[in-house]
Amino acid sequence: MTSTELSARQGIGITALGMYVPERVVTNAFYESYLETSAEWIESRTGMRERRYAAEDEYASHLGVKAVRDLLAHDPDALQDVDLILCATGTPDALFPSTAALIGEQVGLRGVAAADISVACSGFVYGLAMAKGQIAAGIARRVLVIGTEVLSKRVDQQERNNAILFADGAGAAVVGPVPAGYGLGEFVMGADGSGGGSLYMPGAAPQLPDGTPMGEYAGMNGREVFKFAVRVIPESGQQVLKKSGLSIDDVSWIVPHQANIRIIEAAAERFGVGMDKFIVNLDRYGNTSAATVPLAVVDAVRDGRIQDGQQVLMVAFGGGLSWAACTLKWWAGAPSLRAEA
């Protein structure tokens, strides 16, 4: 039975949302003080004007906890029946215990199953897919899915091409039952390890199996990642639309990974739609990897752009190299899923 057939009986979708970005605002002018660059160059190349950096004693679990608490501030009962926590992060507090478990313990979910997802920027959409699968299989009732990153701590701040891009933030969503006809539709996901050397976060090994050396910080081949992204965003997006029985004209909003405005513009051209169909907030938050998609969704829900019954397409790409896309018919029936007055 396909997930579309399952959703005809009962939908599985997002039932609560929350977000958090650190207090410290880092504008493009900050990099002018010590790198060979200018604020104008950064904005023209990336679309970014500012981003947020975590405090010295603030890590992925802290940001994730604050995103969940924001969710609870809007909907105090949102975590009832949550029996699984999935945390997408490429910058965990530790390899173990999982950042998911650390967050769960602090938000009243001690003892709940918890695991981290490590596919970088694709992680939140991967998490939604896993959450839907667990609920559809009867293994979980509700799943808390979090994307949280402190990339400012894992990027070489002396390396211009990476330092200006990456930032910190967290988004959280509860996945659970929604009315029939609403919720998460189909998914398309994939990974290609042969491209791992183009975008990686160092671990225990000094190098990747293909011989790519890894140092202390995250590494990225911007040219290769750009080529990959402008191909895989429209490709995976069209695949999941076809799988869902939809066309791009049926979609009200496209929520892409917020990596670079030029990537999003190229994707818009290949989709054959205008930029006004894309949810974009990288100008304010930069690239927060696994947190970009939930941060963009929360922004668009709270300012009233995403409305009940609209069809949303989420598309992300990341390290692995990985990619993920899904369709979602928005349900606005819970307190944290409505526009703020």
State yes or no: is 287 an active-site residue: yes
Contacts 24+ apart (CB under 8 A), 131-137: 131/12, 131/84, 131/86, 131/175, 132/3, 132/12, 132/175, 132/184, 132/187, 134/84, 135/12, 135/175, 135/176, 135/177, 136/3, 136/6, 136/12
Residue 187 DSSP SS3: strand
Q: Which residue among the candidates 74, 121, 162, 260 is catalytic per the annotation?
A: 121
pLDDT at 1: 40
Assigned CATH class of 183-332: alpha beta
User: Residue 173: which H helix or E strand, with range?
Assistant: strand 168-178
State yes or no: is 326 an active-site residue: no
Considering the chain, tell me which residue range(s) the CATH 3.40.47.10 domain(s) occupy: 3-178, 183-332
Q: Which residue among the candidates 28, 162, 260, 287 is catalytic per the annotation?
A: 287
Smallest Cα–Cα separation from 149: which of 18, 60, 56, 41?
A: 60
CATH superfamily of 3-178: Thiolase/Chalcone synthase (3.40.47.10)
**Would you give the DSSP letter of residue 196?**
G
Give average pLDDT by consecutive 10-residue segment, the chain, 341 residues. 54 98 98 95 97 98 98 98 98 98 98 98 98 98 98 96 96 98 98 94 94 94 94 98 98 98 97 97 98 98 98 96 98 94 63
Q: Are 43 and 211 in contact (CB under 8 A)?
A: no
pLDDT at 9: 72
pLDDT at 320: 87
Q: Is 255 exposed, middle or buried (0-12, 13-18, 19+ CB in 10 A)?
A: buried
pLDDT at 341: 63
State yes or no: is 257 an active-site residue: yes
Q: Which residue among the candidates 28, 62, 162, 257 is catalytic per the annotation?
A: 257
Q: Is the pTM of this model over 0.85?
A: yes
> How far is the C-alpha of 149 from the C-alpha of 120, rounded, in Å?
9
Q: Are 259 and 232 in contact (CB under 8 A)?
A: no
